[in-house]
Amino acid sequence: MPKKFDDEIESFIAKLVERNPGETEFHQAAYEVIETLIPYIADNNNYKHANILNRITEPDRIITFKVNWEDDCGDVQTNRAWRIQFNNAIGPYKGGLRFHPTVNQSILKFLGFEQCFKNSLTGLPLGGAKGGSNFDSRDKSEGEIMRFCQSFMTGLFHYIGKDTDIPAGDIGVGAREIGFLYGQYKRLSNKFVGAMTGKGLSYGGSEIRTEATGYGCIYFCENMLNHIGEGISGKTCVISGSGNVAIYAAEKAIDLGAIVLTMSDSDGFIYDLDGIDSEKLACIKKLKEVNRERIIKYTEYYPKATYHIGKPWGVKCEIALPCATQNEINKNDAKELIVNNVLAISEGANMPTDRIATKMLIKNKILFGPGKAANAGGVAVSGLEQTQNSMRLMWDRKKVDENLRDIMNNIHKQCVCYGQDKNLVNYVKGSNIAGFIKIADAMLAYGIT
């Protein structure tokens, strides 16, 4: 980064923080993008004169509403909910809904901001948004979850639609919740249209949607390795998480011949030196999805594996796949990855590596696929679901998977095009600039809106 831009970057971020006090996750996401865009915009006066950076870091609107619902005891409970409609310059707003007690406006703004660039990179006509609630489903009955979802959608449905804003699932919003949410949308609107994605196959969903983020993460990693003349087969992989993204990243990695050593939950991780194969992965799926067990239970079925408190980044590996949550890799974790000569990192989660760790990894010439590029597979298949809904068709798994792979290949090409940096590819720089150009050019075309 040329020193001459440092003051401009810091001034911009200081003003952004002043406008958005206390929103630390959003500040972090904005900083990571702005520090690569300001040098690029210096050579493109059209973007500067139109004040695109200020405009692109302000959401179009923030919808906040309360959700009242009745629990099984007949008592009324209240949660807070949001929909952040960030930017629709290139298409209707698109982004997931997250139900988790940690959800707040800052987290949703960071996710919505990232979503704009991610959706742009897919090449599909999709704007960026994010939403959710501080609702905790972990100790709730099926009936309580249904009543919450129905009340949530009653507050949201005025603001969404197939040409306006198309929500999907995220943490805490799986197939069950999407069914309840879409059922209420259909009931209130009297329309059967593609106003949500992640739907069940029996009512307009798409093949590969559940697997898409994890599969796409591996396809992007494979592209990075191929670009330097390496391959993924035979490489050792350390994976964090054991939700859908982690499970399906592991599935595709195993399918392509990689050796998966770890998976984790919020308590700790399992380390299987023999490798987690397809049979063992099926065991993890059952433990997590059916029995709702902690990952430590794996060691009862496979006693040669060991369980460890904390994060898995100290395990020696060639590929690291953070697939759990934001900021799970800090500078100390980055040091361990560097010492262990990790070759590539592909982010399955959103912003799982903090700014300092990201800079350290890139400085040490590690292939680093940022989330907005590497985990774009989920929204890519959501876009393909919308296409199938509009055409009143349903594609088979092979066709959807081929389309997903093509999209991830094209995202990689864009990153290489805009990320060249001293004979290396800076994928953070490449993804930020490539995602920005499409949105910014559309905003310029509309004039002052």
> Which residues form the catalytic set?
130
Place of tokens 């040669």: 304
Q: Residues 70-105, buried b or exposed e (16+ Cβ, 10 A)? A: eeeeeeebebebbbbbbbbbbbbbbbbbbbbeebbb
Are 151 and 69 in contact by the 8 Å Cβ rule? The answer is yes
The side-by-side arrangement of strands in the sheet containing 76-87 is 61-70, 76-87, 128-133, 93-99, 165-168
Q: Residues 197-207, buried b or exposed e (16+ Cβ, 10 A)? A: bbbeeeebbbb
CA 83/CA 91 separation, integer angstroms: 17
- Tell me the one-letter amino acid at 422: K
66 forms beta bridges with: 80
Angle, CA 215 vertex, CA 210 and CA 218 arms, to 5°? 155
CB atoms within 10 A of CB 391: 9
Are 110 and 25 in contact by the 8 Å Cβ rule? The answer is yes
CB atoms within 10 A of CB 240: 27
Phi and psi angles of residue 288, each rounded to the nearest 5 degrees, phi first: -85, -45
CA 24/CA 338 separation, integer angstroms: 27
CA 394/CA 400 separation, integer angstroms: 10
- Tell me the one-letter amino acid at 292: R
CA 445/CA 210 separation, integer angstroms: 36
Q: For residue 213, which of 203, 204, 221, 224 has the smallest C-alpha distance?
A: 221
CA 375/CA 427 separation, integer angstroms: 13
Token pair, residue 280, equals 């063992």
Phi and psi angles of residue 65, each rounded to the nearest 5 degrees, phi first: -150, 160
Q: For residue 149, which of 111, 179, 126 has the smallest C-alpha distance?
A: 179
Q: Is 99 left (phi over 0), alpha (psi -120 to 50) or beta?
A: beta
CB atoms within 10 A of CB 48: 13
Angle, CA 92 vertex, CA 89 and CA 93 arms, to 5°? 90
